[in-house]
Amino acid sequence: MSCQGCGLNELLIEIKVEGPHNRNLLRDVSNLMQIRKALHHENEDTLTIREFGARELADFCNDHLDQEKMRIRLPGEDWRSMSELLVIAETKWIDKLIAERRVFMYFQPIVDSEERTYAYEALARFTDEDGSVLYPNIVFPAAKKRGRLYVLDRLCRMKAVEEAAPLRAKMFINFIPTSIYSPEFCLKSTIELATKLNIDPSLFVFEVVETEKTEDLAHLKRILAFYKEKGFKYALDDVGEGFSTIEMLSELKPHYMKLDRSHVHGVSRNSAMQRTAELFLESAIRIGAVPLAEGIESREDFEWLKQRGYRLFQGYLFGKPSLPPSPQQEVQTCKF
């Protein structure tokens, strides 16, 4: 079985035209791409080109075709506006970043109610060609536009496992559910790496990144069931944004539930946020998940959440994301 997202294959772009004017000129477009050796194949109202022809095609279409009646897409993805053709070309730098594995991990502590380190969250950072640091809010959107989200997510997951190995501490690792087509196949490399490094699977907590809305609940359940079968644990991030019903949470059965920072910062003095935090806590207790509050920056918020019954905490109050801690640093082994 091969996975369309697991490698940096040649990028092919499919163009679809509509309307009599565009269809009449499709042959001219095809001839232009053929002359440039950029034409991959063509059908009645579509043609597929190699990426290096994208800029010239964009110029030609801008001059001669009605772009409102044109669409483009990458393999396995939905149709997009023709205006995104150049956007795809302009994000080519992401391919080199992935090929050269220019990713490293920062680790942020997660503490218990006594402020003892319970675990770390692995947070990806990237290196630009000039050596400067690139952050996920730049890299992941670029990868998504270019259809490289899948291979980037896999790279980050593998790098997190590699860098977590010397710590032998519980580690929260983010993953994007839509990047996993088949858990048995797409997660095989993660399982094999953990086995090779002789890491106890129970030390890993795979965290669903909720910014990628997961509409296919059945698919997500398959992924989480696979993790559980292999001995890993999992967490739901940003609960309340996408997994808002108790029925849905009961189906997913997360080991941990994270209260998003938007409901945490200032909770000690905001009654509406307090109500949200209390309802969240009730849901976590009801389904048997460990409640974790993230984004804590003030002691007042920490004390309020602790008194209500939250068990784990994360935020600048306890430590900013930084390079890997010393393997000798004591980490608690609370049985949550």
pLDDT above 50 (res 299): yes
Do 12-89 and 94-314 show the same overall fold?
A: no
The Cα 283–Cα 277 span in angstroms is 10
Q: What is the pLDDT of residues 58-108, one digit of tens each?
A: 999 999 999 999 999 998 889 999 999 999 999 999 999 999 999 999 999
Q: What is the mean pLDDT of residues 155-164?
A: 94
pLDDT above 90 (res 249): no
Domains of the chain, by residue range, sit at 12-89, 94-314
* Closest to 315 (Cα-Cα) out of 137, 161, 115, 174: 115
Q: What is the mean pLDDT of residues 110-123?
A: 97
Mean pLDDT of the chain: 89
Q: What is the mean pLDDT of residues 241-262?
A: 80
- pLDDT value of residue 327: 65
CATH number given to 94-314: 3.20.20.450
CATH 3.40.1360 for the 12-89 domain, yes or no: no
Q: Would you place residue 213 in the very low, low, confident or very high pLDDT band (cuts 50, 70, 90)? A: low
- pLDDT value of residue 211: 43
- pLDDT value of residue 104: 97
- % pLDDT > 70, the chain: 90
Q: What is the pLDDT of residues 19-33, one digit of tens each?
A: 999 999 998 999 999
Q: What is the pTM of this model?
A: 0.86
Q: What is the mean pLDDT of residues 230-241?
A: 80
- pLDDT value of residue 219: 82
Q: What is the mean pLDDT of residues 149-172?
A: 92
Q: Which residues pair with 71 in a beta bridge?
A: 16, 81
Q: Would you place residue 240 in the very low, low, confident or very high pLDDT band (cuts 50, 70, 90)? A: low
